[in-house]
Structure 1
């Protein structure tokens, strides 16, 4: 049995703080209930960015965030990023982005922390055991929508600055915050804001830290890569209106049949992508990566139990991790226009639209993937000799992000994890997409690290999302320690 299989209370008692961090850590421990209550206040705000009727709640959440940072003496600005145009042509104000600065010592590094305070939709009737917007503490787990994604990590960074201030200790680095309210729906307006402020707010930033991710197991982790996402609509249109299958069935070539037929050519039952050129563009798995995956803590049986399945597509840990993180995948998400209500309806839909995505990895390019998918589906469709019309559209083309694990930011991360948790972190990648990481990298040219504190079982985007009190409090200590480690990085003269 290793340390991560021990009960949480044993892990807590075995954690010894180095002397130089003792006072800061003691402050965090003595204020943990206050931190939980602040999280409770934040979770209570239904900042669902996908629900236009809750836009006022989202504005309130941004104001609360700004006021919290102002009360700490930060230089805070609420940056207007414009409006969002709805499908009906109506325009709605986007939530302002919070930009805050603590410290401006040119002799110190400047670290910019990115986070978001909007959340996914949640209702009790969706299957929650507790009220999703009422933070509920059960056996040390803090249940509530947004608790892990991403309100507790944002607050942990804020508590980090607060602890230094309360003890009259200088921050070892200058700290900036960029906190948005539209991450869950695509970060509308944020890229333009980053471009506009590249030579102002970001001009003196040395490093960017993102904590919008989680651990793979009970072992702490540092994240160094995410997959991109190419999201497609494939529309097949035939008759001018829906038809009765008894009257017209057998006499027309049905759009749904065409659509199902071409979707079946995207991927094989074993998971092999059949679109020419996709697999050939993927960077091969190196021996170093294979060894890294082999050493990562990952329990296959727990993974299966978490999803409620009896069989996975691969049986080895390395194959599973590689196909989860660094190989592309095709997923079919739904069909619009098809009958989907309860009961029976003998209809032939006149127009149907499939929604599918391809998670992409280095060295794939969204523009190339768009052409490959479009050309392939049209060629497959042509072979059906159907009179129906096919239209393929790519609506998202987010690039993958990959960092150098030998960069000093990761050296600092390893040292911080070792100090706080007394273990070496796993170096992991995320199968999902965090487009803002690549945006920061491309626009600002700054180095980025993903430093997660969320647990592997937090249930992000799902029912019963939670952040454990342990991860929340010890995560704050991790951030405190990380700033000290970053301060040790030799500053390059300008």
Structure 2
């Protein structure tokens, strides 16, 4: 008897049968050293978006990525996003956004891979064991600034596409890339591109994939949520110049004393945010979510050892994960204008600026957080009856992002991880912020997945950032398989 199949079912089966994973995986294994050299070349570029003196390196980084994609046969564009205004009033060109496209078959799904190529600052004197801009392999780990965040994951996606093309295998889906160079400073200019190209570049995109995140443990993971970020400056200004503490101490109300005083009212020793209205805005933790946290693999003792502390804020896994992912936190990052060099200096600074941030969660709104924090600090400052001046500014107001784990994208992710790693993945949230995720969600209305390959101990934003050779290579295989799994999702017409 001849079995008749509907065209859509025939398409799915033909793709499944055509997928030659072993051959593709072997190609990846055979080209490991080539991949190491590519990462070494990228890590060597000091593409620090926060340091304007490094802007030529950042421009070069974007050009390197564009050229790599061109040599693979992609349709590549460098999109101008304009200039940023510097504190002194001058302007500086921002790095262009790289867009690329591989395939345009309307019968196939189209995925858009987002990544960024800018990095956090890094210096040997910060406590690095190796040169942060010279990729160094030790015990199977590849150390270098940007190795995990986000250069290796971007390269892994490129390697995945290249493997298909090198073996003359048809890509199971159309693939687009959006690579930016300003993520570490708030993704300046990117929202404008997404809005402007909503009906052009993004018009045929079915799904968006972000790999700018890490696993929670040694078990592979799929990420379905991130916190937002409201970043503040609180500036207290007093005398017209810095003063000698021996001459003027005890005669003036010092700006630093005022600043430390108001900072102390933001958060309690137990981590409770004291700004009125913040806790009341947080979406309640559901029973289902609580159970999901219980099932996640997480080693509290190993976590403490990794970061070098003897005590955490919470002693059980569920509370710790909940406060890491889905409750707001407030962190004080530094004070500008204060004496911080080595040695001693008896100065009373005339102006000091505190830098702090609040990671926000559903259902918090950045505009409301700005008002709550600003009003609160001014009310606290007023009670001090100080003649000094307080100015509160919110520099970043990124919203949180949350996805539906029942979405077919996540089912495809589970199948891909099972195929490559032979385990079921953890479903996790991320405590950090990736602003573009919420922008993609709001503007395009497309399903988004975060598919990490970074190690749980990657050291992102910290000293000795790294990705393991294992995660880099097996992550490339994961991306290869994931494209095939996405191809089997029924295309919406």
Give the TM-score taking structure 1 as reference length: 0.93
Cα 1:246–1:139 change in 2 (3 A) is closer
State the alpha-carbon separation in 1 of the partners of residues 267 and 197 from structure 2. 42
State the alpha-carbon separation in 1 of the partners of residues 384 and 196 from structure 2. 49
State the alpha-carbon separation in 2 of the partners of residues 267 and 91 from structure 1. 37
Residue correspondence of structure 1 range 404-423 to structure 2 within 5 A: 404-423=404-423
Q: Are 1:276 and 2:276 an aligned pair?
A: yes
State the alpha-carbon separation in 2 of the partners of residues 336 and 40 from structure 1. 34
Q: Are 1:395 and 2:422 an aligned pair?
A: no
Structure 1 position 388, deviation (Å): 2.4
Structure 1 position 20, deviation (Å): 4.2
Q: Are 1:344 and 2:344 an aligned pair?
A: yes
Structure 1 position 461, deviation (Å): 1.8
What residue number does 2:376 align with? Answer: 376
Identify unmatched segments of 5+ residues in structure 1: 1-17
Structure 1 position 19, deviation (Å): 8.4
Cα 1:109–1:40 change in 2 (3 A) is same
What residue number does 1:316 align with? Answer: 316
Residue correspondence of structure 1 range 24-35 to structure 2 within 5 A: 24-35=24-35
State the alpha-carbon separation in 2 of the partners of residues 245 and 59 from structure 1. 45
Structure 1 position 352, deviation (Å): 2.1
State the alpha-carbon separation in 1 of the partners of residues 19 and 66 from structure 2. 34
Give a deviation string over 1:415-462, Cα, whole Å, max 9, x none.
111111111111111111111111111222221110000101111122
State the alpha-carbon separation in 2 of the partners of residues 251 and 40 from structure 1. 57
SS in 2 for 1:486: helix
Structure 1 position 211, deviation (Å): 0.4
Residue correspondence of structure 1 range 194-205 to structure 2 within 5 A: 194-205=194-205
State the alpha-carbon separation in 1 of the partners of residues 39 and 342 from structure 2. 40
Give a deviation string over 1:139-184, Cα, whole Å, max 9, x none.
2222222111111111111111111112221111100001112222
SS in 1 for 2:184: helix
State the alpha-carbon separation in 2 of the partners of residues 403 and 280 from structure 1. 23
SS in 1 for 2:396: strand
Cα 1:44–1:340 change in 2 (3 A) is closer
Q: CA RMSD in A?
A: 1.6
State the alpha-carbon separation in 1 of the partners of residues 200 and 335 from structure 2. 45
Structure 1 position 54, deviation (Å): 2.4
What residue number does 1:5 align with? Answer: none
State the alpha-carbon separation in 2 of the partners of residues 63 and 126 from structure 1. 29
SS in 1 for 2:353: strand
What residue number does 2:290 align with? Answer: 290
Identify unmatched segments of 5+ residues in structure 2: 1-17
Structure 1 position 383, deviation (Å): 1.9
Cα 1:106–1:151 change in 2 (3 A) is same
What residue number does 1:104 align with? Answer: 104
How many residues are treated as equivalent by the alignment? 476
Residue correspondence of structure 1 range 167-246 to structure 2 within 5 A: 167-246=167-246
SS in 2 for 1:132: coil
Cα 1:107–1:335 change in 2 (3 A) is same
Cα 1:236–1:121 change in 2 (3 A) is closer
State the alpha-carbon separation in 2 of the partners of residues 48 and 193 from structure 1. 21
Q: Out of 224-233 and 459-468, give the one that drifted further.
A: 459-468
Residue correspondence of structure 1 range 421-432 to structure 2 within 5 A: 421-432=421-432
Give a deviation string over 1:279-314, Cα, whole Å, max 9, x none.
010011111111111111111111111111111111
Structure 1 position 346, deviation (Å): 3.1
Cα 1:52–1:249 change in 2 (3 A) is closer
Residue correspondence of structure 1 range 416-455 to structure 2 within 5 A: 416-455=416-455
Q: Out of 265-274 and 336-345, give the one that drifted further.
A: 336-345
Q: Out of 18-27 and 119-128, give the one that drifted further.
A: 18-27
Give the TM-score taking structure 2 as reference length: 0.93
State the alpha-carbon separation in 2 of the partners of residues 97 and 478 from structure 1. 26
State the alpha-carbon separation in 1 of the partners of residues 324 and 183 from structure 2. 22
Structure 1 position 257, deviation (Å): 2.0
State the alpha-carbon separation in 1 of the partners of residues 144 and 186 from structure 2. 22
Q: Out of 57-66 and 123-132, give the one that drifted further.
A: 123-132
State the alpha-carbon separation in 1 of the partners of residues 350 and 242 from structure 2. 5
What residue number does 1:130 align with? Answer: 130
State the alpha-carbon separation in 2 of the partners of residues 126 and 267 from structure 1. 27
What residue number does 1:13 align with? Answer: none
Cα 1:125–1:406 change in 2 (3 A) is same
SS in 1 for 2:187: coil
Give a deviation string over 1:303-337, Cα, whole Å, max 9, x none.
11111111111100111111111100111112222
SS in 1 for 2:155: helix
SS in 1 for 2:433: coil
